[in-house]
Each structure stands twice: as structure tokens, then as C-alpha cells.
Structure 1
Amino acid sequence: MFWADHESFNDPSNDRRLAIHLPDAKYLKVGTQVWVDRLVSRAIVNANYSFHASTAAVTEFWNYSFVQPSGTTFKLTRRHTWKAFVLESIWLLAEPSGAELLFVDNMAVKLI
């Protein structure tokens, strides 16, 4: 199955679904029905490192700065922000080596 950020397939050796994450993906799936642009995920990573901001602070900033002024009812959650941070960080680390990212499909990312 093909998604905007990964391709998933059955692993015949152990009967589970695996996903190869695409290095040139323009969007990341961070929730059941939530996708973020790579610009957003990179901004989340930069905010965490540049301002030493917590996931909660970045989420609150994002919702107040971009979501609320747009008038939508959608809110980015801490889980969305954390998953975007984790995925984008892994992408940034793998990018220079040209490594393919292979994970269990629909991996859960826990908040810490």
C-alpha cells in the first residue's frame, strides 16, 4: 500500500507489516487523519532545539499562531507534535547517509 510518506508491505519472514519511509516525502502522517507538511515538521524540530521548547509549548504556539487565526476547529495535539518531531528527527539523521527508513507499519510514538 502506498501513502504520501511511506509504502507498507507484508514481511513474509515474520507475518507483520513493515513500512519503508520515503526520503522525498512532502507530508508526514502524524495522526490517524492528520498529516503535516515537512516545513511544519522541520519548524517543530527547530523550535525544540533553538528555543529548548517543550512539546506542549510548541503545540500551544502553533495552535495560537496558525490554527486559531485560520478559524478552523482543528487543533494540533501534543501527540501530533511529538510524532512530527520524532519522524523529522529520524529523517534528518538518515538523510546524509542515504539510508532507507524501515519500521513496523503504524508505529506508535509515546510521549515522554
Structure 2
Amino acid sequence: MTNQMYATATDHQATDRYYRMKDLANIPERSARTHMYKSGINKGKMRIIGARQASKGLIGVSEKTLWEWVRKGEFPQPIRLSPTITVWRASDIAEWMKQKDRSIAV
């Protein structure tokens, strides 16, 4: 087990809403394609990988840009719930968006 601590549901109010990366960042379109297995028990078999529609996130930038902003301290810090699940509090995102609107208006 790693020394990294993860947030639990009891660490936060039950009424808090959370956003995952897929809710915040834009996701590019991906066309359908096939994959040919080169080794193992499926060698020579083909697998069809489905298409994915593009989606526009709440923030309207790429995942890479959001992580860059987090690294620079320009975007709220995420909460790690597990090694594969990272979320942001909806209240933190709303406050960040209000501050951005104020800075643009000035």
C-alpha cells in the first residue's frame, strides 16, 4: 500500500457535488478502428474499437490544459478518491469561474 492518502466520503459533506475530468474538459472525437492482436491466445484475431463522439466540457479546454493550470496553481486542487478517481468540488469550480468572470470584466 502506498503512503498517499485518499479522501473518503466522510471527509466531505454529503451534500457536496463533484465533477470528474470528463465533466470539465473537452473530449475530442475518435473514429471507429480495428485492432489486430499480435501475440497471446488472441493472436491474429481482430477487435473493433468503437467510435466516441466529441463532447464539450464545462470549462471548455483540454485535459492537458486543466492539469497544467492545477500545477501552476491557476485552478482548484483536485481531491483524489482513489488511484484512478480524481474529482473537484462543484463549489470550488463555481468560485473559480466567478473569479475568472471578474478578472475578464476588469
Pick the TM interval, shorter chain.
Answer: 0.3 to 0.5
TM-score (normalizing by structure 2)? 0.32
- Bigger Rg, which one: 2
TM-score (normalizing by structure 1)? 0.31
